Amino acid sequence: MAGGDAGLDITARLNHDDLREGWAELGRTPRVIASVKMGAKTDLGRVRENNEDKFDFYEPEDPAVLATKGCFYGIADGMGGHNAGQIACELALKTIIQSYYAGPSPDAEACLRRAIDEANALIFDTAQMIPDRHGMGTTLTAAIVRDDQVLIAQVGDSRAYLIREGRITQITQDHSWVAEQVRLGAMSLEEAQSSPFRNIITRSIGTAATVEADLTMHPLRVGDILVLCSDGLSGHVDPGEIQRMVQEHSPSVAAARLVEQANERGGRDNITTMVLSVRALTPYAADAGLAEPAADSHSGKQEKRGWGLRR
């Protein structure tokens, strides 16, 4: 690193041995295994010189970890000059994953909130130490799939959508100045979309000594699709278009085509999209160590699924 960064190691390392430590003797097993098909894409866009967006995920296979912590999926949209946003989103996602899985507590909400607080403190302290990093921060939209529920964490103006039975719903609340004006009735949605202040966010990880994340729990059903995206996508592609794309294509293809669509409309910002399709919710058979056989709703065939497998 250049300048004031010399000699400073500010890259969070995800130690998988630490994550597994102590889980074996817990003996917990999940009620349900969620079979999730995931696709994700991040892109520079057409205007920016570097990509300050990032996505990351962690899918444990051990039944005790799945039962207690589930699978983590998240995106982050960094901010700050001199590549600071790139560092902030990298630190945030790695630190949150490391901290969230580090302890055996079954209280997922408390563990996730603590992990976000740790990431916030690390980024904030780093920004104070290095002059070029002052003001760096990041948004966070994360989904933890555990049993037949999803825990959503939100800081900033990236978004999570839920597509269910032909309808799309934004299940996060934007932490931005224009979104607050819309909620207060002082600005219409159309005015907010064209406002020169639409990029001003009111909450982010790392820009202040403390941060408050919104945590919400939602039940999952077979056929549900979750879309996590940065404002580089939502600023160009409306919810109805997102819904049609993810319903017509596989998660990987949908993520890529949504990014392409945002670029075709100007690509004013970095663009990141993650698509999570819930293909099955299968009761866990503890004696067999596998999910019980479940009927495939498309073919009528029976199949068994092991840990961490997507179909």
Residue 297, pLDDT > 50, answer no
Token reading at 192: 């907010």
Enumerate domains of the chain plus CATH numbers. Answer: 31-286 (3.60.40.10)
| pLDDT, averaged across the chain | 84
What b-and-e string marks burial along 150-181, b requiring 16 or more CB atoms within 10 Å of the CB? bbbbbbbbbbbbbbeeeebeebbebbbbbbbb
Q: Give the pLDDT confidence score for residue 28 in this predicted structure.
A: 84
The helices-and-strands tally (H runs, E runs) of the chain is: 9, 14
Comparing C-alpha atoms, which of 281, 223, 289 is closest to residue 35? 281
Tokens of 12: 């969070």
Give pLDDT, residue 310: 30
Q: What is the mean pLDDT of residues 115-124?
A: 97
Give 147-187 pLDDT, tens digit per residue. 999 999 999 999 999 999 999 999 999 987 566 656 666 56
CA 40, chain centre distance (Å): 11
Count Cα atoms within 13 angstroms, Cβ side, for 97.
24
240: pLDDT strictly greater than 70: yes
> What's the pLDDT tens digit per position in 77-105?
999 876 799 999 999 999 999 999 998 88
Interatomic CA distance for residues 273 and 38, integer angstroms: 11
**Least confident range of 37-41, 47-51, 81-85:** 81-85
Distance of CA 72 to CAs 55, 248, 268, Å? 11, 25, 28
Query: Is the per-residue pLDDT at 304 higher than 50?
Result: no
Residue matched to tokens 């939602």: 218
**Residues making up the chain, counted from first to last:** 311
Dist CA 69 CA 112 (whole Å): 9
Which pLDDT band holds residue 135 (cuts at 50, 70, 90)?
Answer: confident
pLDDT band with cut points at 50, 70 and 90 for residue 188: low
